[in-house]
Structure 1
Amino acid sequence: MSKVLMKGNEAIGEAAIRAGCLNYFAYPITPQSEVAEYLSKRMPEVGGVFLQGESEVAVGYMLFGASGCGERVFTTSSSPGISLMSEAISYIAGAQCPVVFVNIIRGGPGLGGILPSQGDYFQAVKGGGHGDYRMLVMAPASVQEAVEMVMEAFPLAEKYRNPVMILGDGLIGQMMEPVEFPEHLATKPSNKDAWATNGMSTRNSDKSNLVKSLYLDPKALNDHNLLLKSKYDRMRCEEVRYEAYNTEGDYGLLIVSYGTMSRVCRTAIDNLKAQGIEVGMIRPKTLFPFPEKEILDAASRESCGMVLSIEMSMGQMVEDVDRCVKGRRPVKWYGKCGGEVPTPEEIMDVVKEHL
């Protein structure tokens, strides 16, 4: 399989098509607007549907409707746009509909700026909308990984009948890297006739399907939330993904970092190693479910004196890292959130300060 040089946003759009999704509804917002630009041309070429809504609020409910009919559907947006979709995301999770969301994060809060950030960690991992719901959240560190995660997201959304979010940042969307589209990740929707409102005659059934998130009886609502919780618990058992880097031997400090920031940390770790300083890293590939045991085990290594959460935010993931470490080691944070990406040299200096 040959590789092709593509901008991240365009590769994300192509990955969805290659995965078997032919429905894309969106509203433009920097720094991910190239996805919509690319798919406005590409979707008609493959017999798919491109539709720009009048707002992100409208897009959220277009996604809900299409998914409720059993169609594969996805959207891309950036931070404030995801905020506007959050009510619909809660409805989608409550109604158990599979939708894939891609958030190419920009700086915030408010309008913030259009440069890369990881400031939407709380929004993605802790819910974002109302009620007790969770999304399966994946965080790519390269354009190739973004392609693969997008392609994997559709069967995962259908497996759990739940929204899945790909959490990238402005760099992932704007950088160009060689990519390939693994053919084995092209799949077809599964088991939708069991629940989707796709017409009784279509599925030759005498049983009507109902997609809803409204439960006025308190016991029924409690039971429904327990059912949803059982799915999230299953995700915790089956879907944790992470990368351990330079953790085979002894190390004096453990870094936890994800996405683009983890690439900078990897370079810093390599440079420190050349100076005789050993540092390990756990890179969460899934932010929910979070690699809790893996971080605890790595932090508990006898040689490890502390844990450093490095993020392009004011310290959001550090709360989960601290929770995982359970007080066995000091946990510190380092990062920036104005659009600047800390350099390997900065990371090296911070590590040396704490050793």
Structure 2
Amino acid sequence: MAKVLMKGNEAVGAAAIQAGCKFFFGYPITPQSELPEYMSRELPKHGGVFLQAESEIAAINMVYGAAGAGARVMTGSSSPGVSLKQEGISYIAGAELPCVIVNMVRGGPGLGSIQPAQSDYFQATKGGGHGDYHLVVLAPDSIQETVDLVVEGFDIADQYRNPVMILGDGMIGQMMEPVEFKQPPKRKLPPKDWATTGTKNSNGERRIINSLYIEAADCEELNIRLQKKYREIEKNEIKYENFDTEGADIILTAYGTTSRIVKNAIKRLKKEGIKAGMIRPITLWPFPYDIYQETAQYSAKAFLTVEMSAGQMVEDVRLGVNGQKPVYFYGRTGGMIPTPTAIVEEVKKILGGVK
């Protein structure tokens, strides 16, 4: 299949349509506004419905309704807008409804900047709303991977009856790259006999979607079921890239577009005779702790985490390394982007001080 040059936000919409998305509810906010614009134009051509809600809060509750009826549904926003959606996201997780949520992260806190950032990591991976729940969080590093993960994200959501978040940033949303719309591997997905379609399920029971449990014992039963599901996701869905880590003196960690900058820095270090590698988490939740535990046993003297934030993912890297080696952090905030030169200098400084 021929490749097509597309902007990231528009490629997200095209991938969602390919995956069978039939409803998009959203609200424009920079730097993801091209996504609802694209869906408003293209989704109706494929038998779908686009609706610009009156607010982000309304949009996420419309997602709840469509997902509860068994439809494939998506919403998209950027950092402040995703904050407004958090109560609804918790409801969706508690009701065990599949959907895909896109966050093209921008600098914060508050209204912040409209430049790319990664400072929503905690919000995405630790549960930005209330209660013990998790989203599956996928972090692409290119437009091609974004397309692939959006399509797979709908399948993951349906397989586990769980919301999936695509965590991008302003660069992923705004840059243009050639992409190919490939047929993804087919998953065996369970029937949606829980969906509220106005009929009873195969056991003759009424179909009820709910996240309200007045009795504590009933609510605990829900939480036990959710935690069992999360352990299953952790067992089956972890994804990461292992880049030049064998024999490396230092292992860097980065995700999303920052990882591409880090790869550039690693190539520069190699020319200077410094062996550096990178672990790139693709699933931010579930996080690939085991590869850090394993890699920390080998030759690397230290680990360095590079982020467009004040240091959020570095906590998970430290948990993975588990004290076997020192873990350092370098980041830029507010929409500023790390440069390969700065990363190279940071690596030299670390290796100069590590015995």
The interval holding the TM-score normalised by the smaller chain is: over 0.9
Alignment partners' CA distance in 2, 1:54 and 1:330: 48
Query: Which range is displaced more, 332-341 or 99-108?
Result: 332-341
Q: Of 229, 232, 244, which residue of structure 2 is paired with 1:231?
A: 229
TM-aligned CA deviation for residue 190 of structure 1: 4.4
The answer (yes or no) to whether the contact 2:122–2:312 under 8 Å persists in 1 is yes
What is the aligned-residue RMSD (CA, Å)?
1.4
Q: Which amino acid counterpart does residue 214 of structure 2 have in structure 1?
A: L
2: CA distance, partners of 1:256 / 1:159: 29
CA contact (8 A) 2:32 2:173 kept: yes
Give me the whole-angstrom Cα distance separating, in 2, the residues matched to 1:5 and 1:11: 9
- 2:151 touches 2:184 (CA, 8 Å); kept in 1? no
Deviations 1:299-331 (A, max 9, x none): 221x21111110000000011111111111111
* Deviation readout 1:237-292 (Å, 9 max, x if unpaired): 111100000023x1111101100000000111111112211001100000000000
Match status 1:314 vs 2:313: no
TM-score (norm 2): 0.96
The alignment partner of 1:314 has SS state of coil
Aligned residue for 1:114, secondary structure, equals coil
- Check if 1:288 corresponds to 2:293: no
Match among 269, 294, 299 for residue 296 of structure 2:
299
From 203, 214, 228, the counterpart of 1:216? 214
Q: Helix, strand or coil: the match of 1:116?
A: coil
Do structure 1's residue 131 and structure 2's residue 131 form an aligned pair? Answer: yes
- Tell me the matched-pair count: 351
Q: What's 1:343 paired with?
A: 339
Number of the residue aligned with 1:240: 238
- Contact 1:19/1:185 (<8 A) preserved: no
- Alpha-carbon deviations, 1:202-240, whole Å to 9, x = none? x77732111101111111111110100011111111111
Name whichever of 69-78 and 182-191 sits farther off.
Answer: 182-191
Q: Secondary structure at the match of 1:183?
A: coil
Shift of 1:6: 0.3
Choose from 302, 325, 328 the match for 1:329: 325
> Structure 1-normalised TM-score?
0.96
Give the 5 Å matches for 1:31-70.
31-70=31-70
Does the CA contact (< 8 Å) of 1:26 and 1:59 recur in 2?
Answer: yes
Classify 1:51/1:189 alpha carbon distance in 2 versus 1 (closer, same or farther; 3 Å): farther
Q: Counterpart amino acid of 2:254?
A: S
Q: AA paired with 1:129?
A: G
**Aligned residue type for 2:172:** I
Mean alpha-carbon deviation: is it higher for 267-276 or for 204-213?
204-213
The one-character-per-residue Cα deviations of 1:90-118 (angstroms, maximum 9, x if unpaired) are 00000000010010000000000000000
Aligned to 2:94: 94
Match in the other structure for 2:254: 257
State the 1:293 CA deviation. 0.5
**Which 5+ residue runs of structure 2 have no aligned equivalent?**
none
Aligned counterparts, 1:147-226, within 5 A:
147-184=147-184, 190-192=190-192, 194-200=193-199, 206-226=204-224
Distance 2:198 2:162 in 1: 21
2:276 equivalent among 276, 279, 301: 279
Q: In the alignment, residue 351 of structure 1 is paired with which amino acid?
A: V
CA distance in 1, matches of 2:60, 2:24: 11
User: Does the CA-based 8 Å contact 2:152-2:184 persist in structure 1?
Assistant: no
What do the CA deviations read for 1:109-154 (whole angstroms, capped 9, x no partner)? Answer: 0000000000000000000000000010000000000000000001
What percentage of residue pairs aligned between the two structures are identical?
54
Greater alpha carbon shift after TM alignment, 310-319 vs 38-47:
38-47
> 2:265 corresponds to which residue?
268
Alpha-carbon distance between aligned partners in 1 of 2:294 and 2:332, rounded to the nearest angstrom = 27
Tell whether the 8 Å contact from 1:255 to 1:279 is kept in structure 2 after alignment: yes
The equivalent residue for 2:76 is: 76
Q: Distance in 2 between matches of 1:328 and 1:102?
A: 35
In the TM superposition, what whole-angstrom CA distance separates every residue of 1:27-65 from its partner, at most 9, and x where no partner exists?
000000000111111011111100000000000100001
In the TM superposition, what is the alpha-carbon distance from 1:346 to its structure 2 partner? 1.0
Give the Cα–Cα distance (whole angstroms) in 2 for the partners of residues 321 and 310 of structure 1.
11
Amino acid at match of 2:244: N
- The whole-number CA distance in structure 1 between the counterparts of 2:29 and 2:296 is 39
Q: CA contact under 8 A between 2:148 and 2:184: conserved in structure 1?
A: no
Q: Secondary structure, in 3 states, of the residue corresponding to 1:70?
A: coil
